[in-house]
Amino acid sequence: MTNEIPDGEPKEMSKGAPKDALKDVPKGTPNKSSKAHRAASSRKIAMKYFVYDFVRFTAWPGLIWYRPRKYYENENAKKRFKGGGLLVSNHISVLDPMYLMLTIWYRRHHYVCTDELISNRFNKWLFKSFLCIPINRDNFGVSSFKAITSELRQGGLVALFPEGHVVRTDDEKELAKNQQIVDNLKSGMVLMAFQGGVPIWPVYIKRRANIFQRLRVAVGEPVDVCGMLGKYPTMERIDEVSLLIRQKEEYLKSLVD
């Protein structure tokens, strides 16, 4: 048995169903439960970003003093970055997260931080409110890797400081030792970007000589990790991507020196 509904398409009625089972409901009318679910999801997202967005917009006038002078690798680096990405920068100050936020002001940043900073409930709430992803620096395991790649897959911009700590020295031996540590972590960063399906966005922050000197930040063109590695990445290709990122960092450094 069939019954006609307003759009004119015959619909087969289930056996034993009442004749008025098909009502005159406009085609495409959203389900109430799905609307409620979407509304609940929207409220949850709004609460997740409330503190971050509130501080970002209300503190903006006071942060004008710290606004950086930006330099770009090329014209492509000037384009606004959309979608997920792994933002990689050197680490010169505890204010580096703020410098990155002022440089790429139109995006929310998820910062990777060491779990040593989350020593009590207040710090846990504070770092979570500012979208931080805590990791164990001495024992970087699968859970830390998954936490970062999960955010990348959802379209988030994750900021990572490979050095893991603020580098204040200008001693060549110490810098060379630190660079070796960073180079060893490059393959891990490349795999994170590959698993997250996102590019790596290199940034270099120049240390200021004094508080009156304007901060200088160099922004590179995103590296298409997935395109370079292909469907089945090999260590040789991973090393090639790591080398390209290192070369980009050196070039960005030369732009602001």
Residue 20: is its pLDDT beyond 70? no
* Mean pLDDT of the region 228-256: 92
Return all residues near 138 (Cβ < 8 A) that are at least 6 apart. Answer: none
Sign of CA dihedral 98, 103, 106, 111: negative
SS3 at position 228? helix
Tell me the pLDDT band of 84, cut-offs 50, 70 and 90: very high
Tell me the pLDDT band of 108, cut-offs 50, 70 and 90: very high
* Mean pLDDT of the region 54-72: 83
Phi, psi for 202 (deg, rounded to 5): -80, 140
CA distance 60 to 13: 61
pLDDT of residue 63: 75
What does the DSSP 8-state code read for residue 222? P
The tokens of 53 are what? 């967005």
Q: Which residues pair with 110 in a beta bridge?
A: 158
Condensed to tens digits (0 to 9), the pLDDT of residues 161-180 reads: 887 555 555 555 555 555 55
Tell me the pLDDT band of 16, cut-offs 50, 70 and 90: very low
CA distance 18 to 22: 9
SS3 at position 212? coil
* Mean pLDDT of the region 98-109: 91
* Mean pLDDT of the region 83-103: 91
pLDDT of residue 77: 95
Condensed to tens digits (0 to 9), the pLDDT of residues 117-162 reads: 888 889 888 888 889 998 877 777 788 888 899 999 999 999 998 8
Residue 219: is its pLDDT beyond 50? yes
Contact present, 212 and 65 (Cβ < 8 Å): no
pLDDT of residue 173: 56
Phi, psi for 46 (deg, rounded to 5): -60, -40
Number of other CB atoms surrounding residue 130 within 10 Å? 18
Q: Which strand (E) or helix (H) includes residue 200? A: strand 200-206
pLDDT of residue 211: 80
Burial readout 176-213 (b: 16 or more C-beta within 10 A, e: otherwise): eebeeebeebbebbbbbbbbbebbbbbbbbbeeeeeee
Q: 114 exposed, middle or buried (CB, 10 Å; 0-12, 13-18, 19+)?
A: middle
Tell me the pLDDT band of 185, cut-offs 50, 70 and 90: low
CA distance 13 to 3: 7
pLDDT of residue 32: 58
Percent of the chain with pLDDT over 90: 37
Write down the domain spans for the chain.
Answer: 28-58, 64-256
148 residue type, one letter: I
Q: Map tokens 């004119």 to a residue.
A: 8
Beta strand 10-12 with 2-4: parallel, antiparallel or unpaired? antiparallel
Tell me the pLDDT band of 5, cut-offs 50, 70 and 90: very low
Mean pLDDT for all residues in the chain: 80
pLDDT of residue 4: 47
